[in-house]
Amino acid sequence: MAAPDKTPARISGMFDSIAPRYDLLNRVLSAGLDQKWRRRAVRELQLGRAPQVLDLCTGTADLALAATEQHADASVIGVDFSGAMLRLALGKVREAKLDSRIRLVRGDATRIPVADASCDAATIGFGIRNVAEPTRALDELARVLRPGARLAILEFGQPRIPGIRTLYAWYFRYLLPAVGKMVSRHQSAYSYLPASVGTFPPPAEFARTIESHGFVSVRAVPLTFGIVYLYVATRLS
């Protein structure tokens, strides 16, 4: 499968276009499991007292909100390069009355607008696959995290059980793009999704990539039969 175009202008424009229906499609296409996956990612951070969390590729801030819901004293900085997604995120943050704890910033994952060693943990929810140079994003995450801080990355994978793998492959390649196109009214966004997942490195390979960019104790944890993988790592001390 040919790698899709991931130039920043194209990806940010795509997410700007689908932003109004993004949350709805997440819930529908994952059968509501996306929220469960995010809560699991936050638990894996093992946050201490009053942590400063970076949510990179924050989108509409679902992971940022999950972090503050699970940890009453957590503060989050959410970074994304889609202006439309950030506007929706801001509305959700204000509705939850979390303006003082969640700060949203427009920025690039390969040039994170955060100071060195200033964060106690970091998350990415289904965003690393959309970064044109994911190794640069990992280097930036290593830069902004304090030694010993934890990283949790959620990303799509392939189910490991043969029958489920076949059924999911059909759903992911045919049904998901059709439903996504109909609801989002975007011609290519939900065709891009299976294409980008299909060309993303396998879990073991991506775990090794994380490890080679300043992290230790890297685990690739399959969730829901391997439909999603949760990568958990610790910043090298």
Angle between helices 62-70 and 33-44 (to 10 degrees): 60
Task: CATH number for 8-235: choose from 3.90.180.10, 3.40.50.300, 3.40.50.150, 3.40.30.10.
Answer: 3.40.50.150
* Sequence spans of domains, the chain: 8-235
- Write down the pLDDT at residue 70: 96
Cite the beta strand spans of the chain per DSSP E: 52-56, 75-80, 102-106, 119-125, 145-156, 215-223, 228-235
- Write down the pLDDT at residue 183: 66
Report the alpha-carbon distance of residue 126 to residue 135 in Å, rounded.
Answer: 16
pLDDT digits (tens, 9 = 90+) for 12-68: 988 898 888 889 888 877 889 999 999 999 999 999 999 999 999 999 999 999 999
Strand 145-156 with 119-125, pairing: parallel
The DSSP letter of residue 108 is: B
Instruction: Answer whether residue 143 shows pLDDT above 80.
Output: yes
Q: Give the C-alpha distances (Å, rounded to integers) separating 189 from 85, 91, 153.
A: 14, 23, 21
Count Cα neighbours of 218 within 13 Å in the Cβ-side half-sphere: 20
What is this structure's pTM? Answer: 0.92
Q: What is the pLDDT confidence band of residue 107, given thresholds at 50, 70 and 90?
A: very high
Q: Residues 120, 149: contact at Cβ < 8 Å? A: yes
